[in-house]
Structure 1
Amino acid sequence: MDLDPGLAALRPLGGFFVLRTAGAATPASVSLPTLAETYAPAPGDVHRNALAFRVDTVGRRLRTTEPRVAVSITHQGLAARLWSAALACAALYGGVPDLDPRLLRWDAAATAPDDLWLTEVRPLPGDAPTVAAAVLHAHLEPLGETLTARYGIAAGLLWGNAGSALAGAARELDRWARARGRTDVADRARALTGELFAHPLLRTTGTRTGTAFRRRSCCLYYRVPGGGVCGDCCFTRPPRSSPHAASG
């Protein structure tokens, strides 16, 4: 099944999986910064400040005064969107669009899930090395490096977020596919997820049992007012510890 220009097969899966494409362009979306600009190491113009704006926005919405909590949730939200779109395309189409950060525009002011617009659909193979290159290396490595450099957040926490986001995308895709009798899609997604978790950057992020995942780090959501531990957290209850615990 070839990629269609609108990636229409993703729409029934819901917001975390959908990618807007060139056909959905608006004057406002054309002016959005690309993710390549967003990941730039040193903040400069308004585009490069999109990441800082997003962190501040997430912090306000969560009512947290801890920057590293907002950073972590910002990172996990974007990671979830990238994994969801890539994994669903690979499972449904048998291929993925080129997710080069220069082709993806991002609305840092949008509500969750993160609003992404792919300016051109360039088909690539849907195998694990291609997906790893498209998401891990093209996005999550530069994003993590920028967040660590700017905010001092631990790289181990961010890679835990990446593993958690992949597991969550795989679990939702499996649930959707099996509910519709698409065992072919579920099987492809599960096999691809297993290969991705064998990658050196992900294999130590947690433990998988079927579609369940238990991470070895904490995303810090428990530090959000009214928050608690996530379903895949390394903690079974919110820890009573110093503000810097669970950051690695």
Structure 2
Amino acid sequence: MRTRGLDQTGGVMMDQRSSRPTRLHADPPPAPPSAVFHAVADVSSMGDRFELGIGRVEAGWRPFTDLFTDAGVLGQRIGDVAERLGTAEARVAASILFQKLASRLCSPLFGAAVVHGLLVELVPGRVHWRPTPDGVPPPLRTTDLAGWEIRDPARTAERMYHTVVPGLLEPLAEAVQGVVKIAPGLLWGNVASSLAGTVRALARVRPELTGAALALARELLDLGLLRDKGELAEPAPGHPFFVRRSCCLYYRARDGRKCGDCALEDPGALRDRWTRAVWESRGAR
């Protein structure tokens, strides 16, 4: 049976199984559309994972909802990724596709929140994707965007989680599990890992915002389906370090390997990465 709890401020009702917020804090002030578009355009320039197109969709673009309402479409995408990775294991391809899509959905919103103090909303029915010849990651485009001026990491995390997880990633995860037998903990570990990768990517291009990025990521990783999926630390200033509690299965692909945050990684190798981060930090001073 599902139970619900109220936070001490009386602000958010949470579903204990999926941690879906059912009532959020009072709405923050809306941001002008021009500010939202500027923030997304600026963040998109930081790298592919942050890119989010805005505007009219043309031929070739498909509704994102196709991926979790049409098993044939999703199965085709999983097959394309399997071919690209050189694997006959559908679960490996499904895992990597889900991880890349999670990164594409989370990174632009995360970047806009950290860099511009704006919380951007993605409405599932307005998000589109376009197949690419090499399989992943598919570009995303939205026909419209709204945003709010919000700067507190805890409140930002609650609303970002509500936008991305129940609205987009939970239906996608359920659809993936309907096509391929794969552990749900693995999929949500992929989301946590993608989020940590976004922190590292942002820290490289906007190092002065590393602290703010870490603060928001820690809040997100303590919510609902992302809770207890890994540890995010900072062994040295400006050097985020994440270790997940599951494996994305990439090592089973043709040219795959264990990722740097893999739970299967040798403890000695993890200690070496930690030590290297500390020494790199000292050398940069």
Counterpart of 1:13 in structure 2 is 46
Change (3 A) 1:136 1:125: farther
Say whether residues 1:189 and 2:213 are aligned partners: yes
Counterpart of 1:60 in structure 2 is 83
Counterpart of 1:208 in structure 2 is 232
Counterpart of 2:74 in structure 1 is 51
Question: Superposition RMSD on alpha carbons, in Å?
Answer: 1.9
One-letter code aligned to 1:194: R
Deviation at 1:144, TM superposition (A): 0.8
Counterpart of 2:198 in structure 1 is 169
Q: Is the 8 A contact 1:6 1:20 kept in 2?
A: no
Change (3 A) 1:5 1:208: closer
Q: Which whole-Å CA distance do the structure 2 matches of 1:6 and 1:52 have between them? A: 34
Question: Greater share of strand residues, 1 or 2?
Answer: 2
Counterpart of 2:186 in structure 1 is 157
Counterpart of 1:142 in structure 2 is 171
**Which of 105, 108, 113 is the equivalent residue of 2:131?**
108
Q: Which whole-Å CA distance do the structure 2 matches of 1:39 and 1:122 have between them? A: 23
Q: Which whole-Å CA distance do the structure 1 matches of 2:39 and 2:214 have between them? A: 25
TM-score w.r.t. structure 1 length? 0.83
3-state DSSP of counterpart to 1:236: coil
* Number of matched pairs: 222
Change (3 A) 1:119 1:26: closer
Q: Which whole-Å CA distance do the structure 1 matches of 2:115 and 2:144 have between them? A: 19
**Which of 101, 106, 109 is the equivalent residue of 1:86?**
109
Deviation at 1:51, TM superposition (A): 1.7
Gaps of 5+ in 1: 44-48, 238-248
One-letter code aligned to 1:156: G
Q: Is the 8 A contact 2:65 2:125 kept in 1?
A: yes
Greater shift in the superposed pair: 89-98 or 165-174: 89-98
Q: Is the 8 A contact 2:124 2:168 kept in 1?
A: yes
Change (3 A) 1:200 1:7: closer
Counterpart of 1:27 in structure 2 is 58
Counterpart of 2:66 in structure 1 is 37
Greater shift in the superposed pair: 68-77 or 110-119: 110-119
Q: Show the 5 A alignment for 1:119-134.
A: 119-126=143-150, 127-134=156-163
Deviation at 1:64, TM superposition (A): 0.5
Q: Which whole-Å CA distance do the structure 2 matches of 1:92 and 1:110 have between them? A: 32
Indicate the percent of aligned positions where both proteins have the same amino acid. Answer: 35
TM-score w.r.t. structure 2 length? 0.73
Which of 1 and 2 has greater Rg? 2
Q: Which whole-Å CA distance do the structure 1 matches of 2:39 and 2:148 have between them? A: 15
Q: Which whole-Å CA distance do the structure 1 matches of 2:241 and 2:114 have between them? A: 19
Q: Which whole-Å CA distance do the structure 2 matches of 1:66 and 1:125 have between them? A: 44
Q: Is the 8 A contact 1:108 1:114 kept in 2?
A: yes
Q: Is the 8 A contact 1:6 1:21 kept in 2?
A: no
Deviation at 1:6, TM superposition (A): 7.8
Deviation at 1:3, TM superposition (A): 1.1
